[in-house]
A and B are shown apart, each in its own frame.
Chain A
Amino acid sequence: MTDENAITVKDVHKSFRLPHESNSGLKQVAINIFRRNRKKGYEIQKVLQGVSFEVKKGDFFGIVGRNGSGKSTLLKLLAGIYVPGLGSITTNGSLVPFIELGVGFNPELTGRENIFLNGALLGFSRDEVKEMYDEIVQFAELEKFMDQKLKNYSSGMQVRLAFSIAIQAKGDILVLDEVLAVGDEAFQKKCNAYFDEIKKNKTKTVILVTHGMDAVRRYCNRALLLEKGKIVLIGDPNEVADDYSKQFIVDTETSIKENNRYGTGEIVYQNVKYKLTKDWFTLDFDVVNKTENDYDSITMGYDFCINDDIIIGNDTRYLNDYKSGIQLGPKEKKHFSVKFANNFGNYEFTVNTNITTGLGMNVTDHIRTVVEFESNNLRYSKAFKILSFPEITEVTR
């Protein structure tokens, strides 16, 4: 490894204007001209606030952070797709990006034509692309499909081809965004082997944005952790990975939006809190009887969703612990603490809890999206792992 910088980032700021709904287009321009006290039709969102770091040649550099921390914006700045608002980014060497799972294919062109077009977009000549062509096709395992139009490829095949172009292109700096979810198990192994080799031989500088801490520990020799647009830690990948994981340990009252809630209101949840640690996910809440009636078979249920699909759920009618349900006298309040084993990983899901009075299916209080977690994982197969997880391990009253 030489001491030369591949990328130098100096005090980079980036903000975006987020136009308010229906405020774009000429209409708004016209309206704004005639309006006296111009109301701003947009909000400024500061995504990066003074980020500085250096990447040395041969580094395998990780960028981690929660969703919205600004890491994708940072990556696009590094790749030259965005231009910094303030500060500077200096790149030394040719750069090949792999962002948003692809390099931008044309569905009407064949695989072969797309490779050449992409090569040109990345700044390679036809001869240079010809040289890498065989390796690209071989790595993507798409030898038989190169003369077919890309629209006839499966999404997995497209991503494989895009990824192969990115890594086989003779660029000095490889900028990768969320790639560890590419392809099937076999292809993953191949990618892993490829990364291992790069790490060992330092043939390229790699910048990797990921949520997968295993990858950070395994491949990166340096990493940085972003939080709300600022670097909170930079250096040893293990420390960065540890710090990142700690961010998910939260103990907080959830902010429940009223439009995430419905129900007839006789029995309601109050003081809903959750706690997420490495091993446990705990929900704390009170159940309150708002009426003067006696209820003896209140049911309670929960479910976990990933992108609105219920992955697992249960309610008291099926749990022996709860017998037929909970009893609450007039105006009575009971506290519950429900504990789940945390095998969530960092997947995106929403926890829904709902409550139902015993007779009939009358929902008295339903809260949607008590907690929302981060996600990175695009592979559905991993979702099935979740099927095995959240069983109530303990209920205290």
Chain B
Amino acid sequence: MKLSNIFSRKNRILLRELVITDFKLRYQGSALGYLWSLLKPLMLFAIMYIVFVRFLRFGAGIPHYAVSLLLGLVLWTFFVEATTQGMQAIAARGDIIRKINFPKYIIVISGTVSALINLVLNFIVVFIFMLFDGVHFGWSSLLFPLSVLALYAFSLGLAFLLAAVFVKYRDIGHLWEVLLQGLFYATPIIYPLNLVITGVGAYAAQLLMLNPVAVLIQQARGLVVGHQNVITADQIFSNPFYLLLPYLIIVGIIVLGAFYFRRTQSKFAEQV
């Protein structure tokens, strides 16, 4: 696996075919088809909105909290999809891996790209909500794709690591499901971060904001609905090291994932 070969013409073609296939198969046999990509997060959002915003009054007094909630949910769903699909990618295509030699990492990438396409579709919904909610677009909104890119890179690194482990130990699938559930509540998605600060203390919020997913979701929200309406990492840390730490974790996971995947991939055909 030479770095220059990663996106060679052949591999790009293969990636495209795999993503197209994924997309064709995803909503097969459902009457609404691709619409589900949009309906699912909307329905999820509706539930969360009713329970947490209307009943529990989370985010009361915070402007554009509904948009924040929707954006957070959409980004979280992407993280779950990308890591889960990426993790299962190798094992799910075991049949082909045993018969043809082709670059394995392409299927992991294709699993995450499918999730990425879904995310882009979901952004359309978020965008419409923003228009209705009267969100003001500033120049900083242009930086939004960078946050998404960082989240994607983190997901991809995790997907490589998980996929390689999953081939040998299927246990990781169950473990990851539980971890994701825990991480969901440990990330300020349904509740605003200032609820943690006032309810538990600033140190709890600081602890939560060491999680790269939380940092990136808050950052993306800040860029979209305005920094005055969202607590981002730079608002709760004064030491720049803690601002940097989540990014170090991201880079660490990517390096570890790529390294471990590269080392184990030659045995996939035997183990899968």
Instruction: Name A's B-contacting residues (CB within 8 A).
Output: 16, 24-26, 29, 76, 79-83, 95, 97, 99-100, 102-104, 106, 108-109, 113, 116-117, 120-126
Contact = CB atoms under 8 A, between A and B. Distances in A.
B9 to A, nearest CB: 7
Nearest to A114: B21
Given A25-B169, A103-B100, A122-B100, A76 B269 contact: yes
Given A25-B171, A82-B269, A113-B21, A97 B101 contact: yes
A83 B266 contact: yes
Interface string B77-113: 0000000000000000101111111100000000000
Given A26-B169, A80-B101, A81-B100, 19 more contacts: A16-B270, A24-B168, A25-B170, A26-B171, A76-B269, A81-B98, A81-B269, A83-B266, A95-B101, A97-B99, A99-B98, A99-B99, A100-B98, A104-B93, A104-B100, A117-B17, A120-B13, A121-B17, A122-B102
B95 A104 contact: yes
A106 B99 contact: no
Nearest to A126: B13
A41 to B, nearest CB: 13
A106 B21 contact: yes
B258 interface: no
User: Is the contact region of chain A dominated by helix, strand, or loop, or is it mixed?
Assistant: loop
Contact residues of B: prevailing secondary structure:
helix
B25 interface: yes
A122 B99 CA distance: 10
B14 interface: yes
B28 A108 contact: yes
Nearest to A26: B171
A187 to B, nearest CB: 21
A16 to B, nearest CB: 7
A125 B101 contact: no
A121 B14 contact: yes
Contacts of A26: 169, 171
A303 B175 CA distance: 52
A6 to B, nearest CB: 16
A16 B96 CA distance: 20
13 contacts: A25-B169, A76-B269, A79-B100, A79-B101, A104-B93, A106-B21, A109-B24, A120-B13, A121-B102, A122-B100, A123-B102, A126-B13, A126-B17
B10 interface: yes
Given A97-B99, A100-B99, A104-B96, A125 B13 contact: yes
A24 B9 CA distance: 38
A89 B24 CA distance: 38
B18 interface: yes
Q: Which of B97, B101, B270 has the most CB of A within 10 A?
A: B101
Contacts of A117: 17-18, 21
Interface string B233-262: 000000000000000000000000000000
B25 A104 contact: no
A104 B9 contact: no
Interface string B1-41: 00000000110011011100100110010000000000000
B14 A120 contact: yes
A113 B17 CA distance: 9
Contacts of A81: 97-101, 269
Interface in B96-145: 96-102
Contacts of B24: 109, 113
Contact of B17 (A100, A104, A116): A116
A82 B270 CA distance: 7
Contacts of B18: 117, 120
Contacts of B17: 116-117, 120-121, 126
Contacts of A108: 25, 28
Contact of A109 (B10, B13, B25, B99): B25
B16 to A, nearest CB: 8
Nearest to B266: A83
Contacts of A82: 266, 269-270
Contacts of B97: 81
Top 9 A-B pairs, shortest CB-CB distance: A104-B96, A80-B101, A120-B17, A83-B266, A26-B171, A120-B14, A81-B269, A104-B99, A99-B99
A26 B102 CA distance: 28
Nearest to A106: B21
A42 to B, nearest CB: 12
Contacts of A25: 169-171
Interface string B172-190: 0000000000000000000
